[in-house]
Amino acid sequence: MTALTDQLALGLNSPICLTWEWTYACDLQCVHCLSSSGRRDPMELTTDEMKSIVDQLAEMQVFYVNIGGGEPMLRPDFFEVVEYCVERGVGVKFSTNGGRINSENARRLAAMDYVDIQISLDGVDPETNDAIRGDGSYSRVRTAMDHLRAAGFGPFKLSVVMTRENISQVDAYHALAAEYGAELRLTRFRPSGRGIDTWHDLHPTSAQQIELYNWLLAHPDVLTGDSFFHLSALGEPLPGLNLCGAGRVVCLIDPVGDVYACPFVLHDHFKAGSVRDDGGFARVWRSSDLFTELREPSNPGACGSCGSYDACGGGCMAAKFFTGLPLDAPDPECVFGHGETALAELEASGGAVRPSVSHDHSKPITHPNGVGKRRIPLSIVDR
Amino acid sequence: MNAPFDADRHWRLHERVALRPEPFGALAYHYDNRRLTFLRSPDLVALVESLSDQPSARAAFDAAGLAPGRWPAFEKALGSLAAGDFLVMEDAA
């Protein structure tokens, strides 16, 4: 760690990277959805509450927010709140499945200053993509990309979650992004949300991870949202801060206003408070018990004797938590295999209890994907 | 390629850059190129904020009371801010 990352670990006046999910409603049912989205929550924030949060963020000098969901464009006030953000100097980067990007909306977005779009695609062909995101989603997202290009939106971001099935296609994603004048963004598949059940079969193998690490070093133009910092233990650090920013530099506000330590830990265990509480978001960020605790020096635990702890910091808290590992265990995808060993030991001792989703919004429907008519993993529906 | 930082010129913070005070110094955000960068010490923040009032970066080092031994490090930091367009040169007029 550098002196700067040491200081960042102690916490900041305001987050650097704030994810704000606008709705749990989604017309897709991706098998890796980190927020188990599907149905809107009746307690979701009202338009006035949303604007009040924007005011708070502007006051705290949060320069931009990453809007997600669910599918944020399904909110009827989507454009109204986006425009309000821009007006208040809070830039917007929003993640979308593209379903609502028709030609009219593409032109509307292109005309707005200070709005970035991340469009999600998880395969370079319908077969690979639709197995993750659902039948028909590939052609739909390509149509959305065509609309953005036709509207002259500019360099949007093409965002791909790396899985065992699609990681071999990185060059093709790179080419596809270039074809659209877009930027490529690759992110790590965490075992969060519906990923709790699908991660074990779909996360990249250790050989694939090493290939990805080398590929990322050779392609510094590719964005990663700092998500592969666990791979920095392989040697040369990847670009970025290379630290777990949970509650330190990042956090998440969910559609009902609850504040979590990071986008990948939507679980009661990592809930710091609510923007609806007295003192609003600033108070949760600056003085909640959970965030205060996360800003204390972390214990290297089982990683203490590893010479690479300074490089990877023990990896991703969410990945450990949702695979049932203690938070001071190695990352389940530790590049030296320590995580696999820890998981195997856990399994052997009969103690592999994986947390379930605290607030599941999945639709209890058959996944439209043709492969064996696989059902949405109902075991994670806990209410 | 950006030219090397010229500490004899008059510099100022780009008008579309915002500084947010933080315990380590400040976070700088550029609303045009959407880059985010860290000003890694309170001294650097004070220096950057004083640039526009001084005829040159070197004069700002002096006015800020920075020991000459530290000037090269600050020159380097300002150079990287200038390379990211966070700092702009005032017209020589």
Each residue's pLDDT, cut to its tens digit, for chain A (383 residues) gives: 467 778 888 889 999 989 999 999 999 999 999 999 999 999 999 999 999 999 999 999 999 999 999 999 999 999 999 999 999 999 999 999 999 999 999 999 999 988 999 999 999 999 999 999 999 999 999 999 999 999 999 999 999 999 999 999 999 999 999 999 999 999 999 999 999 999 999 999 999 999 999 999 999 999 998 899 999 999 999 988 888 899 999 999 999 999 999 999 999 999 999 999 999 999 999 999 999 999 998 889 999 999 999 899 999 999 999 999 999 999 999 999 999 999 999 989 887 788 999 899 998 755 455 443 444 443 343 33
The contact set of A with B (CB < 8 A) is 3-4, 7-8, 10-14, 16, 61, 63-64, 89, 91, 114, 116
Partner residue facing B20 (CB), from A11, A61, A91: A61
Nearest-Cα residue of chain A relative to residue B33: A114
Indicate yes or no: CB of B24 within 8 angstroms of CB of A13.
no
**Other Cβ atoms within 10 Å of B26 Cβ, number:** 24
| Nearest chain B CA: its distance from A7 CA (Å) | 6
- Compute the count of residue pairs across chains A and B with CB atoms less than 8 Å apart: 36
Instruction: Name every chain B residue with its beta carbon within 8 A of the beta carbon of A13.
Output: 20-23
How far apart are the C-alpha atoms of A192 and A288, rounded to whole Å?
Answer: 23
Best of B16, B38, B41, B86 to disrupt the A interface (most A CBs within 10 Å) is B38
Q: What is the pLDDT of residue B92?
A: 54
Condensed to tens digits (0 to 9), the pLDDT of residues B12-49 reads: 999 999 999 999 999 999 988 888 999 999 999 999 99
Q: What is the pLDDT of residue A374?
A: 42
The interface pTM score, or ipTM, of the predicted complex is 0.86
Indicate yes or no: CB of B23 within 8 angstroms of CB of A7.
yes
- To the nearest 10°, report the CA torsion of A78, A81, A86, A92: -50
Residue numbers of B between 18 and 77 with CB closer than 8 Å to A:
18, 20-24, 27, 29, 31, 34, 36, 38, 40
Indicate yes or no: CB of A4 within 8 angstroms of CB of B38.
yes
